[in-house]
Amino acid sequence: MKLRRVTAASAAVLALAVAATACGSDDKDDSSSSSSGGGDKKITIGIKFDQPGIGQKTPDGYTGFDVDVATYVAKQLGYDEDQIQWKEAKSADRETMLQRGDVDFIAASYSINDERAAKVDFAGPYLLAHQDVLVRADDKDIKSPEDLNSKKLCSVAGSTSAQNVKDKLAPKAQLQQYQTYSQCLTGLQSGAIDALTTDDSILAGYASQASFKGKFKLGGFKMTNENYGIGVKKGSDLKAKIDTALEKMVSDKSWDKAVEANFGPAGYENEPAPKIGNVVK
């Protein structure tokens, strides 16, 4: 009797083990099938979370020109909107994020230059922006970069934009550095500062916010050329595919619609869509 009880128990354990193995095998097959079938595929895209009109995270989702461009590109690559995973790409982190594979590509007011191009590849450019200034809508004194002399000029701490103006165009400008562009805008609105400087596309995005509509205007000075590109990992075959998608976005007028939707309220006089591979120095 004792031998029979041990044998029965052993058989029960064996049966459970076989069942568990079978279940594990089924789970693995299901997972593999789901992945190979593409039902759960995702694409991870880096954008700015704090630049209205360019890339901004809001309670209702993500908005901005870069978001519209990235969404269009992702669709051309075979991904629906709900298959996109957005990831914040701060300026100082962009090359590292691409090199580590944290994202598939980055569209985040990412100006193409030689230093960056040595570390990552760029598709595009998809927008030619310029360094400019934002002033109050009723300002009649600042008509050229030289008029910034003796004026209070704001940009964010660590930015080269304001220093570029002070060094090359208006050496007597009173440089004010705040932590965020939003703080600069508040100062501009109150009169604490006279002008805010950075890329005109970024300035237009901020000025287009409902709370600031009609309060500011762009100088239109075009002090530098900023070619926005989509960054990918060095050697990635995504570069050619993204270039093709961008060309289609321009040809079917989706690019124009995205510019108007995101920058139009600020009266942004954008450059025509740049040709792929044409980086304007």
**8-state DSSP, 79:** -
Model confidence, pTM: 0.79
Cis peptide leading into 265, omega within 30 of 0? no
CATH no. of 130-218: 3.40.190.10
Average pLDDT score over the chain:
86
Please state whether 244 falls in left (phi above 0), alpha (psi between -120 and 50) or beta.
Answer: alpha
- Fold agreement between 43-129+227-266 and 130-218: yes
What is the per-residue pLDDT across 9-67, written as a single tens digit (0 to 9) for each? Answer: 444 443 434 344 344 433 333 333 333 334 579 999 999 999 999 999 999 999 999 99
Helix (H) or strand (E) holding 23: helix 2-37
Tokens matching residue 10: 């052993």
CATH architecture observed for domain 43-129+227-266: 3-Layer(aba) Sandwich (3.40)
Question: Rounded mean pLDDT of 158-174?
Answer: 86
C-alpha–C-alpha distance, residues 36 and 251, integer Å: 33
What is the per-residue pLDDT across 113-136, written as a single tens digit (0 to 9) for each? Answer: 999 999 999 999 999 999 999 999
Can you give the residue ranges of every domain in the chain?
43-129+227-266, 130-218
Side chain identity, residue 74: A
C-alpha–C-alpha distance, residues 156 and 207, integer Å: 16
